[in-house]
Structure 1
Amino acid sequence: MTTVSTTPVIGHQAPPLTYPPLTRTDFVKYQGASGDFHPLHHDESYALETGFPSVFSVGMLQAGMLASYVTDWLGVENLRRFKVRFAEKVWPGDELTCSARIVDVFDAEDGRRARIEMTCARQTGVNALVGDAEFLLD
């Protein structure tokens, strides 16, 4: 994906991006990078004992994937605000598809901005993550 070369307008969408199925190794790698070693995300026995069917992803893993997706589209240097809400757990084998669209273009103190709505959906069609962000356009 590349930075938008024309002036973004309301309704403009980034091409959706589907990531390969996530693995337990992906979860553990993220835990190592983040320092969050809660056993729910890597210890199958612990997850089962606490009532979950398996280990599941640290939510910030998919938040990072979504952040990379939108900054590849509109430029990391232009990001001014990024907010997400965790909506659904992500399990080993899930394929996540990120999508985003511009919902507002407005003048701000630091220049023209675009507000985008974004989602990170599981292969089931259910959103694992929803959010919005603002990017500087000037």
Structure 2
Amino acid sequence: MDFSSLAIGQEIGSCTINVSRADLVRYAGASGDFNPIHFNERIARDVELPGVIAHGMFTMGAAVQLVSDWAGDPGAVLDYQTRFTRPVPVPDTDAGAQIAVVGVIGALDAEQSTARVDLTVTSGGQKVLVKAQAVVKVA
């Protein structure tokens, strides 16, 4: 990727991430986050959630993979921030949930050779992350 070939508003790519209940169990084991709202339907509904939901950090991490793939090096991602706006319900079906991610160049800094990638992250037609932005060092 060449810095001079980038333009504000340019799409870097898009993807759909499929999320199953099994993915949530694996993430709980890897992260140590065993909050039962991420695997127990009854408890999730008891606290007025729509059902079992994905971990926020799982959603955040899955979304930034698009940027890492585009950059070609996960180490090129210098900063990544977001705000969580809605949970991602994960039904107990083979289809699970889908998270759609679209990345667009939001800003360029020629002095630092960095690009800010703005991510639109949705599930079920609703934005689940807002102000999802990654700063990438461009070779």
Are residues 1:51 and 2:48 paired? yes
Amino acid at match of 1:97: A
For residue 136 of structure 2, what is the aligned residue in structure 1?
135
Q: Distance in 2 between matches of 1:129 and 1:9?
A: 24
**TM-score w.r.t. structure 1 length?**
0.85
Q: Distance in 2 between matches of 1:87 and 1:53?
A: 14
Q: Mean alpha-carbon deviation: is it higher for 11-20 or for 29-38?
A: 11-20
| Aligned length in residues | 131
What do residues 70-99 of structure 1 show as CA deviations (whole Å, max 9, x unaligned)? 110123121111001111110113211111
Q: Distance in 2 between matches of 1:133 and 1:28?
A: 27
Q: Distance in 1 between matches of 2:107 and 2:43?
A: 44
Deviation at 1:8, TM superposition (A): 1.8
Deviation at 1:9, TM superposition (A): 1.8
For residue 126 of structure 1, what is the aligned residue in structure 2?
126
Q: Distance in 2 between matches of 1:136 and 1:5?
A: 11
Q: Percent same amino acid at aligned positions?
A: 28
Q: Distance in 2 between matches of 1:51 and 1:9?
A: 43
SS at match of 1:73: helix
Amino acid at match of 1:33: A
For residue 102 of structure 2, what is the aligned residue in structure 1?
99
Amino acid at match of 2:109: F
SS at match of 1:9: coil
**Which structure 2 residues correspond to residues 24-103 of structure 1 after superposition, within 5 A?**
24-74=21-71, 75-92=73-90, 93-103=96-106
Amino acid at match of 1:15: G
SS at match of 1:36: coil
The structure carrying a bigger strand percent of its residues is 2
Runs of 4+ in 1 over 3 A off after TM superposition: none
Deviation at 1:27, TM superposition (A): 1.1
Deviation at 1:11, TM superposition (A): 1.6
| Unaligned 5+ runs, structure 2 | 91-95
Deviation at 1:5, TM superposition (A): 5.5
Q: Distance in 1 between matches of 2:11 and 2:50?
A: 35
SS at match of 1:48: helix
Deviation at 1:46, TM superposition (A): 1.4
SS at match of 1:14: strand
Q: Distance in 2 between matches of 1:63 and 1:135?
A: 16
